[in-house]
């Protein structure tokens, strides 16, 4: 397995890994900026997967991961002084690629693997579990990973059901009785709709229609027309790439829809559409967002500025989307926990012990983290039971729906999702 190191950000990149595919050279490293606290110790390496290729690719995840590594090595002083290197395997949505990536990680005996919100990570999980290598991330791309046994994996912002729970709060506050939403057609999205979205909607008395689409081929005018044909109280998307969100939301507004649009985790449309078209949209991300800066508390503003600086340092200052923050949160929170617990000898056992000892720890731009296996019913990987959502203002800024930002999810909603 060929690896190419991009030295300034400390990333070992594996491109297009499959059992038969050859690897391509990594692109030239763009990070020449150094921070105020540069790691100087011997490097330590961990594995990572991001959904960088294929029909359901989200390259923002990869950019955020690279920026997170830069931040760890240039602002946090590494992991207890050691420079962090990440063996990045680019997922393409296929289980075969995930299996090949996992086998590579096991072969290298990495102490931990970062799930960069990769939808195909479920293919890697059994291999990592068999080898005793824990996985961590902000959020699981594949919901089956959430059901791993305690100690096998950890997700800082809780399960995918957290987003659904936040959606329930939006529905209640806006008296929504029917929705029609689009999302990418993948096995993982089907699983999410069947196991979480539809049961929640049924329990709350909301009539819910969904459209599965291929975002690389979709006619957004047709998708929008199909949504509006059902005369929902809320239209929009649950999970689409940024370009797909922009195309769908533009089509909805042009076809006369003035009511609320649910946008999932998309953010780029606010910059690309007319401000009036972007207003009255609601997003339920897993973290604070760059667009919420003017409505955020001082400590969050500082973190948002640090995130932007890191993204600019690795040449992706124009990609400050939510998914980039998720990947950034994944690697930075891991490093902060390991530093907080003063882990010197990085092994799978020491990583798990450090994470399990974490209580009420403020994740980067995310909720407080307590990884005790008790934060969400029947989901021991969840390290949080809080959610956050934003309402897009006419000036394009994001205002948290709850002044404090994060808030615990009401018990009645949790019960609806776990009954």
Q: Is the pLDDT of residue 393 over 80?
A: yes
Determine phi and psi for 400, rounding to 5 degrees.
-60, 140
Q: What is the pLDDT of residues 286-330, one digit of tens each?
A: 999 998 999 999 999 999 999 999 999 999 999 999 999 999 999
What is the model's pLDDT at position 22?
28
Percent of the chain having pLDDT more than 70? 91
Task: Give residue 128's pLDDT.
Answer: 98
pLDDT at 9: 55
Is 221 a residue whose pLDDT tops 80?
yes
pLDDT at residue 58 in the model: 87
Give the C-alpha distances (Å, rounded to integers) separating 73 from 42, 70, 303, 310. Answer: 12, 5, 16, 11
pLDDT of residue 11: 57
As a whole number, mean pLDDT of residues 84-101 equals: 93
Predicted local distance difference test score (pLDDT) of residue 257: 97
Assess whether pLDDT exceeds 80 at residue 376. Answer: yes
Least confident of 203-212, 303-312, 342-351, 399-408: 399-408
Among 10-19, 38-47, 403-412, the minimum mean pLDDT is found in: 10-19
Higher pLDDT pick, 197 / 417: 197
pLDDT for the residue numbered 218: 96
Give the fold, CATH level 3, of 4-158+301-384: Rossmann fold (3.40.50)
* The pLDDT value given to residue 20: 33
3-state secondary structure labels for all residues of the chain: CCCEEECCCCEEEECCCCCCCCCCCCCCCCCCCCCCCCCCEEEEEEEEEECCCCCCCCHHHHHHHHHHHHHHHHCCCCECCEEEEEEEEECCCCHHHHHHHHHHHHHHCCCCEEECCCCCHHHCHHHHHHHCCCEEECCCCCHHHHHCCCCCEEECCCCCHHHHHHHHHHHHHHCCCEEEEEEECCHHHHHHHHHHHHHHHHHCCCEEEEEEECCCCCCHHHHHHHHHHCCCCEEEEEECCHHHHHHHHHHHHHCCCCCCEECCCCCCHHHHCCHHHHCCEEECCCCCCHHHHHHCCHHHHHHHHHHHHHHHHCCCCCCCCHHHHHHHHHHHHHHHHHHHCCCCCCCHHHHHHHHHCCCCEECCCCCEECCCCCCCCCCCCECCCEECCEEECCCCCEEECCCCCCEECCHHHHHHHHC
According to the model, what pLDDT value does residue 54 have? 83
Residue 31 banded pLDDT, cuts 50, 70, 90: low
Residue 35, pLDDT score: 82
pLDDT of residue 280 exceeding 60: yes
Ranges 6-15, 185-194, 267-276, 311-320, most confident: 311-320
Query: Band of the pLDDT at 182, cuts 50, 70, 90?
Result: very high
Predicted structure pTM score: 0.83
Split at pLDDT 50, 70, 90, the class of 116 is very high
Would you state the torsion angle of the CA atoms of residues 137, 143, 148, 151, taken in this order, to the nearest 10 degrees? 20
Domain boundaries for CATH 3.40.50.2300 within the chain: 4-158+301-384, 161-285+387-418
Q: What pLDDT, on a 0 to 100 scale, did the predictor assign at position 161?
A: 81
Rounded-to-integer distance, Cα 295 and Cα 397, Å: 8
Q: What is the reported pLDDT for 4? A: 40
Give the pLDDT score at 411: 73
Mean pLDDT estimate for the chain: 89
Banded model confidence at residue 404, pLDDT cuts 50, 70, 90: confident
pLDDT of residue 398: 92
pLDDT, average across residues 200-218: 92
Percentage of residues in the chain with pLDDT exceeding 90?
A: 67
- Token pair belonging to 395: 């000036």
30 CA to centre of own chain = 24
- Alpha-carbon span 39 to 79, nearest angstrom: 8
Please say if the pLDDT value at position 261 is more than 60.
yes
Q: Give CA–CA dist 41/28, Å, rounded.
A: 24
CATH of 161-285+387-418 given 3.30.70.580, 3.10.20.30, 3.40.50.2300, 3.40.50.620: 3.40.50.2300
Q: What's the sign of the alpha-carbon dihedral 110, 12, 323, 406?
A: positive
CA-angle at 333, arms to 351 and 385, nearest 5°: 95
pLDDT for the residue numbered 352: 98
């Amino acid at each position: 397995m060929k690896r190419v190191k991009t030295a300034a950000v400390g990333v070992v990149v594996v491109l297009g890994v499959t059992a038969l595919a050859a690897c391509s050279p990594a692109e030239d490293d763009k990070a020449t900026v150094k921070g105020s606290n540069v790691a100087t110790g011997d490097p330590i390496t961990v594995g990572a997967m991001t959904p960088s290729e294929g029909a359901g690719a989200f390259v923002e995840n990869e950019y955020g991961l690279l920026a997170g590594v830069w931040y760890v090595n240039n602002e946090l002083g590494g992991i207890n002084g050691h420079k962090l290197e990440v063996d990045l395997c680019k997922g393409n949505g296929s289980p075969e690629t995930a299996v090949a990536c996992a086998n590579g990680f096991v072969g290298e005996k990495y102490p931990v693997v970062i799930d960069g919100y990769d939808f195909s990570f479920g293919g890697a999980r059994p291999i990592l579990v068999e080898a005793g290598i824990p996985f961590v991330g902000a959020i699981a791309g594949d919901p089956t990973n959430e059901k791993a046994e305690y100690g096998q994996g950890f997700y800082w912002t809780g399960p995918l059901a957290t987003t659904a729970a936040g959606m329930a709060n939006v529905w209640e506050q806006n008296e929504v009785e029917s929705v029609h939403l689009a999302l990418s057609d993948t096995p993982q999205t089907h699983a999410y709709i069947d196991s979480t979205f539809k049961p929640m909607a049924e329990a709350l008395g909301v009539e819910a229609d969904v459209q599965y689409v291929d975002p690389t081929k979709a006619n957004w005018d047709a998708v929008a027309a199909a949504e509006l044909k059902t005369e929902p109280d809320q239209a929009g998307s649950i999970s689409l790439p940024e370009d797909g969100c922009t195309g769908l939301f533009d089509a909805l507004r042009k076809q006369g829809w003035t009511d609320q649009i649910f946008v999932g985790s998309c953010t780029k449309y606010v910059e690309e559409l007319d401000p009036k078209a972007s207003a009255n949209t609601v997003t339920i991300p897993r973290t604070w967002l760059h667009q919420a800066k003017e409505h955020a508390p001082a400590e969050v503003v500082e973190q948002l500025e640090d995130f932007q600086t890191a993204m600019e340092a690795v040449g992706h200052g124009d990609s400050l989307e939510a998914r980039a923050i998720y990947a950034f949160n994944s690697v930075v929170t891991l490093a902060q926990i390991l530093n907080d617990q003063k882990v010197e000898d990085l092994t799978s056992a020491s990583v798990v012990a450090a994470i399990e000892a974490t209580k009420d720890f403020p994740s980067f731009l995310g909720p407080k983290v307590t990884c005790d296996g008790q934060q969400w019913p029947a989901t021991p990987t969840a390290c949080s039971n809080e959610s956050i959502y934003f309402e897009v203002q006419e000036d394009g800024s994001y205002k948290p729906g709850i002044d404090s930002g994060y808030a615990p999810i009401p018990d009645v909603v949790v019960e609806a999702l776990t009954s």
